[in-house]
Structure 1
Amino acid sequence: MKVKVGSSTFLKVIIFLIGIAVLAVCIVLLPEAARRDAIERPGDYSLYPLLVCAYGICITFSVALYQVLKLLTYVEKKNAFSELCLQSLEVIKKCTFTVIFFIFLAIVYLRVLAQFTDDDATGPISLCLMGILVTSIVASIVDVLQKPIKNVLDSQPKSN
């Protein structure tokens, strides 16, 4: 399995830029949204559960991005079929399920909030469902990538 250094470096740069964007969301956009909401509706804390879900998703996504960077490093060093690679894929899969959990919590909260405020939460809930769909696709891709690595590791003789 020969990987060009330029393509993996390009992927690392893209992942790094995505990480910077996630950091900007956590540091700039989410606190600004909380500040605006506090000014517009003092004493109303209905945005905070959504902020907790958003921060949970951002942190989990950052962990997954770090694992992808580690995975690319393993592939560059020709350790694509190693136990370390398998562990990184496992962490990425756990991160996808955690993101799905946070999105599900947001859906439940939006539905309960809509029940009490008589708002229509159909739009945000449908966006959340699309997020679950995309995250599920990533989880299944990671699972498909794990199977050949497990097969190769299982077929190798174990050294004591």
Structure 2
Amino acid sequence: MNVQRVSTTFLKIMIFLAGLAVLALCIWLPVIAIKDAKVHPDTAYFLIPFLICAYGFCITFAITLYQAFKLLTYVERNNAYTKQSLKALQIIKKCAFAVIVLIFIGSITLKILSKVTNDDPAGPISLSLMGILAISIFAAIVDVLQKPLKNKLDK
């Protein structure tokens, strides 16, 4: 077994485990929301936008994981320089931007909620900004990978 196959298999296993974590999060989100609504009934209506953003995040993240899995399969089969790989990278980049928008909407919802409850949202909002920065870096890396692939396919 060569090193490339071991590396791609390891990455596929990590993608699968991340997918399981996202699935677990999707299963537990309503349970957590119901418990929070019972504890804080005066702000329960803010859970709807939060859940929409959370499920949107989970769906786009799952799509990204699937596309990354497909991309690794193309690499394993020595088909990395194909239109399918380029399409997978484009979908990953679009999903990254969608996640950035969803995190931003979630941060705005959190800021509005903090005005109602008089809580300090600095911690969660700073974590949101760090997440936006990390995903922006990831999207830039995907864009850098996408350009030479597109140039090679255009020739």
> What do the CA deviations read for 1:88-133 (whole angstroms, capped 9, x no partner)?
0000000000000000101111122222332211111101001100
Partner SS, residue 87 of structure 2: helix
Q: Which residues of structure 2 form unaligned runs of 5+? A: none
Q: 1:9 to 1:75 in 2, by over 3 A?
A: same
How far apart are the structure 2 equivalents of 1:46 and 1:136?
27
The aligned runs of 1:99-110 (5 Å cut-off) are: 99-110=99-110
Q: What do the CA deviations read for 1:55-83 (whole angstroms, capped 9, x no partner)?
A: 11111000000000000011111111111
Tell me, yes or no, if structure 1 residue 128 matches structure 2 residue 128. Answer: yes
Determine which structure has the larger helix proportion and give its number.
Answer: 2
CA distance in 1 between partners of 2:3 and 2:92 (Å): 21
User: 5+ residue gaps in structure 1?
Assistant: 156-160
Q: Which runs of 4+ in 1 moved over 4 A?
A: none
Aligned pair count reads: 153
Q: Percent identity?
A: 57
**Higher Cα Rg: structure 1 or 2?**
1
1:3, distance to aligned residue in structure 2 (A)? 6.2
Root-mean-square deviation (CA, aligned residues, Å) is: 1.5
Q: What residue is the counterpart of 2:50 in the other structure?
A: 50
TM-score after normalising by structure 1: 0.90
Provide the rounded CA distance (Å) in 1 between the counterparts of 2:58 and 2:122.
23
Which residue number in structure 2 is paired with residue 158 of structure 1?
none
Deviation at 1:45, TM superposition (A): 1.9
